[in-house]
Structure 1
Amino acid sequence: MPKKFIRRFLPSHQSIKQNKALKIFGSVLHEPNLWHLNRRSAAGAFGIGLFFAFWPVPFQMWLSAGLAIPFRVNLPLSVATVWITNPFTIPPIFYGAYKVGTTVLGTKPEHFEFQFSWHWVVESINTIGPAFLVGCGICSVVFGLAGYFSLNWVWRFQVKKAWERRRQLRSQQAS
């Protein structure tokens, strides 16, 4: 069942409440609905986490937590899902977003080489920036919605299978 699988990878609510970076949310973190793991809260948290995973900003976890709180979805899952984009996966994911942006804008993909300098960042905003940001926005919405609906479907499917197994077990025990 997805609940047991997801719970294995989530941090405890005590460790998140004690996280110094999330102290800005104050006593709101004591809301019990942020820690429940059910179909609605898991699917919503997964969708929010995927939505912010495609944002090219350094504080994605805060944004994800900030949106999980008013929507009352599982906070740890929302924050953990953002880590789909990590130092190893950012290059291919953001390059894919750039390709989506060039396709949507109808522009020709430009050749670029990454340089770790402020000058390169400022120059890139004018050249590859628009296509990259449009692609990130589109991927953010598409993958956020796809994540929400797919986890919702998987959860329902697993619950339905569990119900059928129990029904079959009861009918076998009765006969």
Structure 2
Amino acid sequence: MTRAPVGLFGRLAAWSHRNLPTRDSMERNRLLRPVAHRVLAPELWRFTRRSVPRGVALGMVAGILVPVAQTPVAALFALPFRANVPTAALTTFITNPLTTPPLWIAAYWIGSWMLRIDAHVPGQPVAEAAAQADWIPWLMQAGPATALGLLAITIVASIGGYALSALGWRLWIARKWRHRHDNRGS
């Protein structure tokens, strides 16, 4: 009899297990066929304390910066960095139809702040363009601001994802050791 997953981490683990790409699905992917021999190398599919955080960080990069084919791109990113391919591919699901619009809005705000688009400058070009209701100047300023914001979010998210997954891995191993020690003592 199998137990149902309990709590948030249990449900997350069950969802991850259901959606984790398999070696067979990666082998059948036509985009990966030219490099399948490299992507399917056994060392890229092992879950180790170094490869999993690398996979999380690379999955964040591919998930946020790459608009299409994120999973194959994450798998290709994993090759030179010896990252865990399933983790990199699964982490790309951080962006989906529900999370992408808020992500892009936040990226625009962050990029605008970093570029100081709304700062008071002589002539106030942004305010004048908005007053003329001309969309071209707005789009010309929204593009660089959004791109810079996405880059900033990607850097923070990938470093944070790496750190959190490394910490999570350490806590998980410590819990296993503690459980093993408790069982040995009884």
TM over 0.5: yes
Q: Does 1:154 align with 2:164?
A: no
In the TM superposition, residue 127 of structure 1 has moved relative to its aligned partner by: 2.3
2:115 aligned to which of 105, 111, 114: 105
- In structure 2, distance between residues paired with 1:70 and 1:40: 14
TM-score for the superposition, normalised by structure 1: 0.80
Identity of aligned residues (%): 29
Which protein is bigger by CA-based radius of gyration?
2
Gaps of 5+ in 2: 1-8, 120-125, 127-134
Structure 1 counterpart of 2:162, which letter? Y
Q: Is residue 56–residue 162 contact of structure 2 (8 Å, CA) maintained in 1? A: yes
- In the alignment of these two chains, the number of paired residues is 162
Structure 2 counterpart of 1:143, which letter? A
Q: Does 1:133 align with 2:143?
A: no
Of the structure 1 ranges 56-65 and 39-48, higher mean CA displacement relative to structure 2 is found in 56-65
2:183 aligned to which of 158, 162, 169: 169
Q: Does 1:18 align with 2:25?
A: no
Q: Is residue 46–residue 81 contact of structure 1 (8 Å, CA) maintained in 2? A: yes
Q: Is residue 21–residue 89 contact of structure 2 (8 Å, CA) maintained in 1? A: no
Report the RMSD for the aligned CA atoms in angstroms.
2.7
- In structure 1, distance between residues paired with 2:78 and 2:139: 30
Describe the SS at the equivalent of 1:20.
coil
Of the structure 1 ranges 135-144 and 47-56, higher mean CA displacement relative to structure 2 is found in 47-56
Q: Is residue 16–residue 76 contact of structure 1 (8 Å, CA) maintained in 2? A: no
> Which 4+ stretches in 1 moved above 4 angstroms?
122-125
Gaps of 5+ in 1: 111-119
Describe the SS at the equivalent of 1:15.
helix
TM-score for the superposition, normalised by structure 2: 0.76
